[in-house]
Amino acid sequence: MGLKRVVVSGLGALTPIGNDIKSYWNGLKSGVSGADKITYFDTTKFKTQFACELKGYDPMNFFDRKEARRLDRFSQYAIVSSDEAIKDSGLNIKNIDNTRIGVIWGSGIGGLKTFQEEVTNFVNGDGTPRYNPFFIPKMIPDIAAGVISIRHGFKGPNFATVSACASSANALIDGVNYIRLGYADAIVSGGSEAGIIKSGIGGFNAVQALSKRNDDPKTASRPFDLDRDGFVLGEGGGCVILEEMDHALNRGAKIYAEVVGIGLSSDAYHMTAPHPDGEGAISVMHNCIKDSGLTYKDVDVVNMHGTSTPLGDKAEAKALGHVFKDHLYSMNINSTKSMTGHLLGAAGAVEVISCILSINNNIVPPTINHFNKDPEIDSNINFTFNKSQSRDVRVAMSNTFGFGGHNACVMIKEFSIK
């Protein structure tokens, strides 16, 4: 039995540059920065005092007060983005077999704010263990997949993927495999993260991961720039409805694109640093291209992991040269983290969505905030610096790498029934 084909039939996004798909895409193609001073807490004593927060997000627009209190923000973001994608797809348990619709969701950290608050309350109390009965259900990373399935009545495969910043890319890859193998007709897949809290900023500061450009937050995320000094923390969620092609066609679904390739690898090198020669990145891109049945010359765009860290950007750019050879100079490369910041476990999903929208609109969003060339990064590569570019986009690839050496890669292609 051959593998089944997997298409994308719905999209949803909640990001620092747009609270739905339309506004997210407008922000991307316009080169908007989502970075600004943190408003959630007093950052006076923190080395980094800015992040890419959501703008104008009010949980009361989506939940009643009781429900909102029972959900950590990462679960709220999961529900908001998946609600949009499910509505967009037209999936409805009244006209489908709900036992064959699954939810696979990624989050690198889960309910960190809930954990911080409960532990803080205990430490500041009299030693009596008075914990919120929703402490554990709010915190665990798998709860997002659970509440989405409960909300919509989807009874197929249901679980979470956790691989740091590769979490939602891994969720998409698992979703693709479940459909390819015939275990599900559709998977609601994506990721969400809500790490802009004291322990999130403080923890990433401690490992020297964040930019400290407090005097100019909007230009702090500078992938591939000589003066990059770390990533900018973001938050939000992204959802992709993955569906078996014939199932989507039979119900008259709108099809955005086809997922044709997936790749996985491990650096097996360091807890937080990438392999300096990009070995894991090279391997995961090769694996994805091989799985797709295409060649490296078919790829038009690569949305890089491109976090704006000194080591990571250089290693990934080096890996590109190994994989794409001379074709690299005919491609567009970009890093949308320059605009959204780094959404950690949600990054893979929101960046795959960017690839899908590029294919649908033949526009490549820019890598903003480029000012000075890094002599250690090939200056002949078209990184789509500072301004979006129009081009025919038939095939796009998204790279996502996580602490621990987890590498995931997804290939998206313009849909054709042949």
- Cβ atoms of residues 233 and 210 within 8 Å: yes
Strands 395-402 and 301-303: parallel
Helix (H) or strand (E) run with residue 238 in it: strand 236-244
Each residue's pLDDT tens digit, 131-186: 999 999 999 999 999 999 999 999 999 999 999 999 999 999 999 999 999 999 99
Q: Among 335, 332, 281, which residue's Cα sits nearest to residue 306? A: 335
The span from the CA of 354 to the CA of 41, in Å, is 30
Write down the pLDDT at residue 1: 61
Q: Looking at the DSSP assignment, which residues form a beta bridge with residue 367? A: 385
Beta bridge partners of 410: 262, 398
Provide CATH code, domain 262-413: 3.40.47.10
Name residues of the chain where pLDDT drops below 70. 1
Distance, CA of 88 to CA of 166 (rounded, Å): 25
pLDDT of 93 reads: 81
Q: How far apart are CA 281 and CA 406, in angstroms?
A: 10
Look up residue 293 and give its two tokens.
């049945």
Q: 90: left (phi > 0), else alpha (psi -120 to 50), else beta?
A: left
- Smallest Cα–Cα separation from 220: which of 342, 315, 108? 342
Q: Comparing 7-250 with 262-413, is the CATH topology the same?
A: yes
In this structure, what token pair is assigned to residue 78? 């999961």
Three-state secondary-structure class, residue 412:
strand
CA distances from 55 to 17, 71, 90 (A): 8, 19, 27
Closest to 340 in 3D by CA, of 321, 327, 328, 353: 353
The set of residues, in sequence order, having a beta carbon less than 8 Å from that of 304 and lying 6+ positions away, is 223, 313, 316, 317, 320, 333, 334, 335, 399
Model-level pTM greater than 0.75? yes
One DSSP character per residue, 350-361 reads HHHHHHHHHHHH
Residue 95 pLDDT: 82
* Domain spans of the chain, in order of start: 7-250, 262-413
Q: Rounded to an integer, what distance in angstroms lies between the CA atom of residue 401 and that of residue 272?
A: 10
Active-site residue list? 165, 305, 342
Cα 28 from Cα 355, distance rounded (Å): 11
d(CA 263, CA 338): 24
Is 114 strand, coil or helix? helix
Q: Residue 47, class by beta-carbon neighbours within 10 Å (0-12 exposed, 13-18 middle, 19+ buried)?
A: middle
Q: How many CA atoms lie within 13 A of 294 on its CB side?
A: 23
Q: Which CATH architecture has domain 7-250?
A: 3-Layer(aba) Sandwich (3.40)
28-43 per-residue burial string, b: 16 or more CB within 10 A, e: under 16: bbebbbbbeebebeeb
Rounded Cα distance, 409 and 348, in Å: 9
Give the Å distances, CA to CA, from 279 to 253, 315, 344, 398: 40, 9, 21, 17
Give whole-number Cα distances, 405 to 151, 163, 313, in Å: 34, 9, 15
Say what the pLDDT of residue 147 is.
98
